[in-house]
Amino acid sequence: MRNARWKAASRAAIALTGAGALVAGMALFLTAPAAAGTTLGASAAEKGRYFGTAVAAYKLSDSAYTTILNREFNSVTPENEMKIDATEPQQGRFSYSAADQIVSHARSRGMSVRGHTLAWHSQQPPWMESMSGSALRQAMLNHVTQVATHFRGQVVAWDVVNEAFADGSSGGRRDSNLQRTGNDWIEAAFRAADAADPNAKLCYNDYNTDNWTHAKTQGVYNMVRDFKARGVPIDCVGFQSHFNNESPYVSNYRTTLSSFAALGVDVQITELDIQGASAATYRSVVEDCLAVARCNGITVWGIRDSDSWRASQTPLLFNSNGSKKPAYDAVLAALNNGTTPTDPPTDPPTDPPTDPPTTPPPGPGGCTATVSVNQWTGGFVATVKVTAGSSAINGWTVTIGLPSGATVTNAWNANRSGSSGTTNWTNVAYNGQVGAGQSTEYGFQANGTAGSLSPTCSAS
Ligand code: G2I
């Protein structure tokens, strides 16, 4: 049953990818480049992905919070409201109001919902914590059935089982009351979820499974391979991706994502946060996901740093005051480029027109450039908007004088000469042609203080 659904879902994904490739290809041949997305959700959607966040129900009355939520994200995961202690605080008495509030907020705004989580050793209500054996097995399966049934049709993907593997070198299961009901408890939970909501994608979700060489990663991989071989209904694997000094991002992360995907499951980054919010690391994570066709979405674990379970590590994309951090700009740029910044798009048009458009002569209208700066202590990101005048242009050069002490460290969507003092920026292959009155954007990150920048633009 799940196989048939799975094929239909895959077909839809392929159709979407095909349309995306066509649009990306067309951009090369139009006078104006396709507008890059200006929010995380819109930009991810252009790549056939979602960009989500964990949401706490009690924050939905905070307008600063919902302004960012509604503007930037197209997927939500209830941070605590769907957990066992929240949904079944007393055995057989289910409580959905906080979770329903989040689901309704999301769905009324076109955002999808990830369900988190049906079966977990942690955040069990006291009645469940004290259970064991077949009574616990039955109670767990009933919980999965009841909750998945309540949210049927409203949750696109469920973290059916969360964090069932042990840390360290064993590569085996974590000890817990659920594990002690028998090693097959995980597949039993998946089968119950499948019966209750046949259309939801069913995921296994865990942390410290990012490094391909780690025993825990291999343990989960072997379980998923076994489930696929035996027809246990699993559709996806969630990588929480809480990166910090003890558990840092590693360059083999992309290998991990692609290796799991090769088993025939979707992969999703489900709880992303990065200690210190390095823009470069955030960018790498996004690029890794985009490089894997079955990595179909990214969720960050909170909106502002003050919303984070690890607030002191300032690991998120927005400052506590709601302003965008450099990591935000890096994520957005990575989503828009779809590959390493400054590289050309990887999706060549599959059917190039037989008569490529002839290059129009340079027009008399020239171009103008404006810059917006996101400054923080010790550095800034500048977003430069190049606008063609009364005629289409075929290329552009922007000159920006940087104040002393300001040094460019990183750039996207433009070629650069000079990293301090006078800097010159020219279009890359895919954003030189700009229609009359149309715009394109590039950006750079720099150390130091921007002050007031006055870019000039010349067209060719
Ligand atoms: O621990 C980080 C995450 C790891 N992966 C699974 C996620 O479900 C988990 O989320 C966190 C939430 O972000 C926290 O908000 O899970 C914690 C509990 O394991 C959540 O913390 C709890 C506190 O422990 C409770 O005291 C508090 O009542 O949040 C509750 C609601 O604010």
93-112 residue pLDDT tens: 999 999 999 999 999 999 99
Residue identifier of the C-alpha nearest atom 30 of ligand 1? 80
What pLDDT is recorded for position 31?
35
Amino acid of residue 262:
A
The structure tokens listed for 332 are 């957005």
Ligand 1 within 6 A of CB of 79 = yes
Residue 271 falls in the annotated catalytic set = yes
What pLDDT is recorded for position 373?
83
Pick the more confident residue, 2 or 399.
399
Amino acid of residue 258:
S
Q: Which of the residue ranges 136-150, 272-286, 347-361 would you say has the lowest mean pLDDT?
A: 347-361
Amino acid of residue 435:
G
Mean pLDDT of 204-210: 98
Give 9's pLDDT tier (boundaries 50, 70, 90). Answer: very low
Residue identifier of the C-alpha nearest atom 31 of ligand 1? 80
Pick the more confident residue, 278 or 35.
278
Ligand 1 within 6 A of CB of 194 = no
**Position 409 pLDDT exceeds 70:** yes
What pLDDT is recorded for position 10?
36
What is the DSSP annotation of 183-236?
A: TTHHHHHHHHHHHH-TTSEEEEEESS---TTSHHHHHHHHHHHHHHHHT----E
Q: Which of the residue ranges 13-17, 135-139, 167-171 would you say has the lowest mean pLDDT?
A: 13-17
* Angular region, 347: left φ>0, alpha ψ -120 to 50, beta rest: beta
Residue identifier of the C-alpha nearest atom 24 of ligand 1? 123
Ligand 1 within 6 A of CB of 101 = no
CA distances from 65 to 57, 72, 81, 266, 410 (A): 11, 11, 17, 30, 30
Ligand 1 within 6 A of CB of 309 = yes
What pLDDT is recorded for position 35?
54
| Secondary structure of residue 422 in the 3-state scheme | strand
Residue 309 Cα to ligand 1 midpoint, Å, equals 7
Give 28's pLDDT tier (boundaries 50, 70, 90). Answer: very low
Model pTM score: 0.71
Residue 303 Cα to ligand 1 midpoint, Å, equals 15
The one catalytic residue in 81, 187, 271, 287 is 271
Q: Describe the strand order of the beta sheet including 422-426 as a list of residue ranges.
A: 415-417, 422-426, 396-401, 456-459
* Residues in contact with 358: Cβ distance below 8 Å, sequence separation at least 6, in sequence order: none
Residue identifier of the C-alpha nearest atom 27 of ligand 1? 80
**Position 458 pLDDT exceeds 70:** yes
Strands 242-243 and 201-206: unpaired
222-226, 408-412, 421-425, 442-446: which is most confident: 222-226
Ligand 1 within 6 A of CB of 159 = no
Give 445's pLDDT tier (boundaries 50, 70, 90). Answer: confident
Residue 274 Cα to ligand 1 midpoint, Å, equals 17
Distance of CA 119 to the CA centre of its chain: 24
Residue 383 Cα to ligand 1 midpoint, Å, equals 36
Average pLDDT in the chain: 87
Pick the more confident residue, 21 or 400.
400
**Position 33 pLDDT exceeds 60:** no
Ligand 1 within 6 A of CB of 307 = no
Ligand 1 within 6 A of CB of 271 = yes
The one catalytic residue in 163, 187, 287, 441 is 163
Residue 123 Cα to ligand 1 midpoint, Å, equals 8
Q: Say if CB 323 and CB 381 are below 8 A apart.
A: no
What pLDDT is recorded for position 456?
95
CA distances from 202 to 19, 187, 234, 287, 383 (A): 26, 11, 5, 24, 40
**Position 375 pLDDT exceeds 90:** no
Mean pLDDT of 357-377: 70
